[in-house]
Amino acid sequence: MEDHQFTLNKSPAFVIIAAALFFCALQSCSDRGNLSDHQSILRDATESSGETPLSQPEAESALHTITPLLQPEAESALRTIMLQFPEYLDVGLKDAVEKIETLRTSSNNFLENTGTETLAAVRAAWLSAHNAYEQTTLYRKLFESFAEEPAVLQLTEHQYFIDHWPIYAGYIDYLDNYPGSGLVNDMTVALTPESIRAQHGLLDIHEATLGFHALEFQLWGENVNGVDARPYDDFIKVTDVALPTAIEGVPAEQLPRSRRRQFLALGVEELSSETDSLFKTWNSERPSILAALEQLDSRTIIYRLAGAFISTLDDEILLPSLYPMLNGDINEGLHAVFSHASQDAEGAQLFGMEQLLTESSATGRTLDEILGTLSDDYAEYFLRNLDAGKACLDRLYSKNASSHITDNEFAVVECINLMQNMIEYLEQIRNLTAGLG
């Protein structure tokens, strides 16, 4: 995601809080200079945990008293656990590739046998494949943390073609208020793999033609209220230009329904191809990453590990989703806005974090236990906040009885605080590594 700046609505409550924070800054009431710009927003608005953040002087004191950072047995256990992350990514990407293949089979069947049931099967396959991909989020962050720059650039490009969001849906196909919009209705653009790829982000990063969310819009349409999804007859094959759906003088293959069918087929094929390429990039880098994990000291490993966790919470949940929602941009903040499945996507991302933290290694120890030896606050509160955060996001993103996404301001703030709490505990641990990179 880029350009994640946001501005708070200027309600009286926010103005008062902003003024108080400004006065607090002038009085030097906090020296937590390493926190991100968006942290501690409305920290006291909820009573989510009641913990006291570790101040910077305490973190510096901890640095001087913990030498080495981990005892030999814990350091060995850490290395063993971290050597498991490539296996998790390997398994996760294989699962995603397999489920995208199921999506490809389902979409082909739908285009051959267009109807309500076959469309429902494609949608179910999309949800399954998307969740499988999102479960690899933390492990892709770790890949980025330990890989060389050329591989990181390749990873970034793959991810932009696979899962960029939010997207400008009207760039692809019609909207309720703009029935002629999108490339589907623009006969001047040839629908070929090369042209669709060239159109992806051509003038704006959100003008996506490829990836999960371009397909999501094609399968569900705008679906604003969660019950008016795109009808299957948008994809019915047109073979007779004399039918009422035909346009005089326009060949059958250039009619919107025909182009929509082509667009869907191309999108699924390109998603499958791009995910295969990502898997190949990972396979080529896997040996060097394993070698790095064997050789790097524990301080460097912990620094990069904490950074990957923080990036998952900050760059995948806070910045693109919760902060826009706090600013009133509800749809922009929903990861899977057309399918109304944002709660599943964010839950899948947090699952990857929980998996790495809590699954026992061959040594019998967990990563959560090892990190807990470095920070009492982390040990006592992190998993509590993780569990509460999952529940909070599920409530926030889930559909209520009226099929509208819950957008209660208090609920957004509660989720923000829980995410920020986790980031603080991770930063306490990262601060112990004393500026490593």
- Domain-by-domain residue ranges, the chain? 34-82+296-431, 85-281
Q: What is the pLDDT of residue 241?
A: 54
Instruction: For the chain, give the longest Cα–Cα distance.
Output: 83
Q: How far is CA 149 from CA 275, 279, 346, in A?
A: 20, 17, 28
Residues 348, 135: contact at Cβ < 8 Å?
yes
Distance in angstroms (rounded) separating the CA atoms of residues 192 and 169: 19
Give every residue of the chain whose pLDDT is below 70, as ranges.
1-67, 240-249, 399-407, 435-437
Q: Is 249 exposed, middle or buried (0-12, 13-18, 19+ CB in 10 A)?
A: exposed
Q: What is the pLDDT of residue 356?
A: 96
Which tokens sit at 2? 């880029």
DSSP result, 290-330 = HHHHHHS-HHHHHHHHHHHHHHHHIIIIIIIIIHHHHTT-T
On whether the pTM is more than 0.85, the answer is no
Q: What is the DSSP letter of 6?
A: -
Chain centre distance of CA 400:
23
Distance in angstroms (rounded) separating the CA atoms of residues 421 and 437: 23
- Tell the residue number behind the tokens 């509590």, with chain if given: 384
Q: What is the pLDDT of residue 10?
A: 37
Write the pLDDT tens digit of every residue in 189-221: 999 999 999 999 999 999 999 999 999 999 999
Distance in angstroms (rounded) separating the CA atoms of residues 123 and 219: 7
CA torsion angle 108 111 115 117 (round to 10): 10
Write the pLDDT tens digit of every residue in 15-72: 333 333 333 333 333 333 343 344 444 444 444 444 434 334 344 444 344 467 898 9
At 244, the amino acid letter reads: P
